[in-house]
């Protein structure tokens, strides 16, 4: 079971959902107000988009969402977490990955089919890719400029935590870094979108094996997805809306996945 997170402003959850179906896996979209992951979760995908309108910083508000506590517990117990684009930004803001994503150099939004070089494959995500292999994956971001200080960069290099790099400097990223993992190599983040590169008709299928690898990963038996909340795990036969708790079903438009911009502007007391 693949848990796909949905925040206010997420817009790539259905791309990831399609990818799971295309690759023969089950998935559930998990609303940001939940406090537990679905029963049987093998991996968590934090998809792309513009969570909370990218206010403050990209991912700077999403890191406070209730579901992130469950994601952190899952990762701390060895579960696999993969953040894509805005998901990468969220994981960095949540300090689940080192560094930060800043505005692209020249303040330019980039939406192209990018070329990347595989840097390390001693991890589950890239285990069947080869070092220095070139892959084509689409990018679509304005804040993909990865920054980390000299000490942090040295640690990434020493621990083989750099997953892939841009083959050219398109956004100003330190050392052209496009994706990294944590020291335990169970939390991954990258700016390109592998879920948009799983069929040749899309221009590339170079992302298919990345997703197959993470989708087929078995969460360690020690991983617990329960929570101190009295609610049970999500009912996977229900929509994300109907999975919400009685408390979140109260008349509060900000708890709905179908949030209007008027509601967001009018309600200043929203509790993140």
State whether residue 3 is helix, strand or coil. Answer: strand
Q: Are 102 and 147 in contact (CB under 8 A)?
A: yes
181 is catalytic: no
The span from the CA of 30 to the CA of 18, in Å, is 15
The span from the CA of 126 to the CA of 133, in Å, is 11
232 is catalytic: no
* Catalytic option among 17, 58, 93, 193: 193
What is the distance, to the nearest Å, from the Cα of residue 127 to the centroid of all Cα atoms in its chain? 19
Distances 133 to 73, 126, 235 between C-alpha atoms, Å: 34, 11, 41
* Catalytic option among 12, 58, 85, 119: 85
Structure tokens belonging to residue 36: 């537990």
User: Residue 130 gets which letter from DSSP?
Assistant: -
Q: Are 70 and 34 in contact (CB under 8 A)?
A: yes
Catalytic residues: 85, 193, 195
């Amino acid at each position: 079971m693949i848990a796909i997170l949905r925040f206010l402003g997420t817009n790539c959850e259905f791309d990831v959902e399609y990818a799971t179906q295309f690759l023969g896996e089950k998935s559930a979209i998990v609303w940001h107000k939940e406090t537990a992951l679905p029963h049987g979760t093998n991996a968590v995908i934090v998809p792309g988009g513009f969570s909370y309108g990218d206010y403050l910083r990209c991912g700077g508000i999403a890191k406070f969402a209730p579901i992130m506590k469950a994601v952190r517990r899952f990762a701390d117990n060895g579960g696999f977490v993969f953040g894509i684009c805005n998901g990468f930004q969220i994981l960095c803001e949540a300090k689940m990955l080192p560094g930060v994503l800043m505005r692209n150099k020249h303040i330019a939004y980039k939406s192209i089919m990018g070329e990347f070089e595989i840097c390390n494959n001693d991890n589950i995500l890239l285990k069947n890719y080869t070092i220095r292999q070139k892959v084509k994956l689409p990018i679509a971001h304005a804040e993909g400029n990865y920054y980390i200080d000299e000490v942090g960069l040295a640690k990434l290099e020493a621990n083989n935590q750099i997953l892939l790099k841009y083959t050219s400097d398109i956004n100003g990223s330190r050392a052209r870094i496009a994706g990294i993992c944590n020291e335990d190599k169970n939390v991954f983040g990258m700016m390109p979108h592998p879920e948009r590169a799983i069929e040749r008709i899309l221009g590339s299928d170079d992302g298919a094996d990345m997703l197959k690898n993470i989708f087929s990963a078995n969460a360690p038996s020690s991983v617990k997805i329960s929570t101190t909340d009295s609610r049970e795990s999500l009912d996977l036969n229900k929509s994300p809306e109907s999975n919400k708790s009685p408390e979140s079903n109260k008349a509060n438009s900000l708890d709905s996945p179908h949030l209007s911009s008027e509601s967001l502007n009018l309600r200043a007391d929203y509790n993140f």
